[in-house]
């Protein structure tokens, strides 16, 4: 650690090799434990956090040797959040694979991956409580409502490897989804750039030529009445990509309150669906040793039940 600025309470942390490639917001969450993500984002947005003296973004990737300026921050009370044993047991039972480098969890729907936006804890906090004192970091993210395969790194070398794979398209990602409408073709590719919209109450993503390239391949698995049960392969990894691309082709995901509309949500609630129908079914990538790893998470029973209620 670099010498702090004692007059202001600011400290400078030098990035070590085990944090290289990590997103800035995740790095700060580890440095400022229990500080809400909303506060961390505000610190970055207002320029209080800097990398090598320069302004940065939450998604900025760190390099070994970078000097990160961290302003003083306090959490009310002792900042301790204890997750119930019921939730800990749920997460323990959701582990699909674990070795010395990584753990793959079948993330339950409704559980955020990290704290923030009014949530005192996320899945990463549960894992750290179960394995107190051990190294666990998120290699990627899933939306709160999305269930399925989530990968966590168990050491710095693994984190560098996994974040690079996810960033550079080295991970094959397949999701199961229910589209509100009939697909016109068995396979449809949506190649439409996506842009995060600013100035709205909640983060929203739109199709825009000014956005970042995004490609999703939808493959029909089964026509169910007036909807389509499909596999969505992410060929890029943008925020809300499947949800926005589904909306863009006129077939929003069943139950998607943000991109499907209130009328659609009420329709699916009547069929017992109280979440967005999106499940991270399968991941495949190379391990540190070069071995091809593949993981699958079964479709939750609640989503199977919704499918059974749709006309074949």
Q: Is the pLDDT of residue 41 over 90?
A: no
Parallel/antiparallel/unpaired status of strands 10-14 and 67-70: antiparallel
Q: Is the pLDDT of residue 203 over 70?
A: no
| Catalytic residue check, 99 | no
Contacts for 202-205: CB closer than 8 Å, 24+ residues apart: 202/258, 203/239, 204/240, 204/258, 205/238, 205/239, 205/240, 205/241, 205/243, 205/244
Average pLDDT, stretch 234-249? 95
Dist CA 159 CA 138 (whole Å): 8
Give me the catalytic one of 25, 66, 125, 143: 143
Average pLDDT, stretch 252-276? 91
Q: How many residues does the chain have?
A: 312
Domains in the chain, please, with CATH? Answer: 2-70 (3.10.290.10), 85-168 (3.30.2350.10), 172-309 (3.30.2350.10)
Dist CA 2 CA 46 (whole Å): 22
Half-sphere exposure of 174 toward its Cβ, with a 13 Å CA cutoff?
A: 17
User: Tens of pLDDT along 67-102?
Assistant: 999 988 765 555 556 788 999 999 999 999 999 999
Q: Taking a C-beta distance cutoff of 8 angstroms, is the pair 49, 24 a contact?
A: yes
What pLDDT band is residue 6 in, cutting at 50, 70 and 90? very low
Average pLDDT, stretch 197-205? 66
Residue in the structure block whose two tokens are 């085990």? 18
Cα 187 from chain centre? 26
Parallel/antiparallel/unpaired status of strands 215-224 and 227-234: antiparallel
User: Tens of pLDDT along 75-84?
Assistant: 555 555 678 8
Residue 25, φ and ψ in degrees, nearest 5 = -65, -35
C-alpha distance from residue 183 to each of 212, 223, 249 (Å): 25, 8, 9
Dist CA 41 CA 24 (whole Å): 10
pTM of the model: 0.80
Quick one: three-class SS letters along the chain? Answer: CEEEECCCCEEEEECCHHHCCCEHHHHHHHHCCCCCHHHHHHHHHCCCCEECCECCCCCCECCCCCEEEECCCCCCCCCCCCCCHHHHHHHHCCEEEECCCEEEEEECCCCCCCCECCECCCHHHHHHHHCCCCCCEECCCCCCCCEEEEEEECCHHHHHHHHHHHHHCCCEEEEEEEECCCCCCCEEEEECCEEEECCCCCCEEEECCCCECCEEEEEEEEEECCEEEEEEEECCCCCCHHHHHHHHCCCCECCCHHHHCHHHHHHHHCCCCCCCCEEEEEEEEECCCCCEEEEECCCCHHHHHHHHHCCC
User: Tens of pLDDT along 126-183?
Assistant: 999 999 889 999 999 999 999 999 999 999 999 999 999 999 999 999 999 999 999 9
Average pLDDT, stretch 291-297? 97
């Amino acid at each position: 650690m670099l010498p702090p600025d004692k007059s202001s309470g600011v400290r400078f942390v030098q990035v070590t090799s085990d944090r290289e490639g990590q997103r800035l917001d995740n790095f700060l969450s580890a440095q400022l434990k229990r500080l809400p993500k909303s506060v961390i984002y505000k610190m970055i947005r207002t320029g209080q956090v800097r990398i090598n003296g320069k302004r940065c973004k939450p998604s900025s990737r760190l390099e070994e040797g970078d000097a990160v300026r961290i302003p003083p921050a306090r959490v009310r009370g002792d900042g301790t959040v204890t997750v119930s044993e019921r939730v800990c047991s749920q997460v323990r039972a959701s582990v699909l694979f674990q070795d010395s480098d990584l753990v793959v969890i079948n993330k339950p729907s409704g559980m955020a991956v990290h704290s923030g936006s009014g949530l005192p804890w996320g899945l990463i906090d549960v894992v750290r409580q179960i394995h107190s004192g051990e190294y666990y970091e998120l290699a990627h993210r899933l939306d709160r409502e999305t269930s399925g395969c989530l990968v966590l790194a168990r050491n710095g070398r693994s984190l560098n490897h996994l974040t690079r794979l996810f960033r550079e398209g080295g991970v094959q990602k397949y999701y199961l989804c229910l589209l509100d409408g009939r697909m016109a073709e068995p396979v449809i590719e949506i190649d439409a750039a996506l842009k995060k919209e600013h100035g709205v109450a909640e983060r929203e993503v739109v199709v825009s030529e000014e956005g970042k390239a995004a490609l999703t391949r939808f493959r029909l698995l089964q026509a169910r009445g007036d909807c389509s049960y499909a596999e969505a392969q992410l060929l890029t990894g943008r925020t809300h990509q499947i949800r926005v691309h589904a909306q863009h082709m006129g077939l929003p995901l069943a139950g998607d309150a943000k991109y499907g509309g209130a009328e659609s949500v009420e329709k699916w609630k009547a069929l017992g669906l109280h979440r967005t129908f999106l499940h991270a079914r399968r991941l495949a990538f190379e391990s540190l040793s070069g071995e091809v790893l593949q993981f699958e998470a079964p479709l939750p029973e609640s989503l199977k039940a919704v499918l059974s209620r749709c006309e074949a």
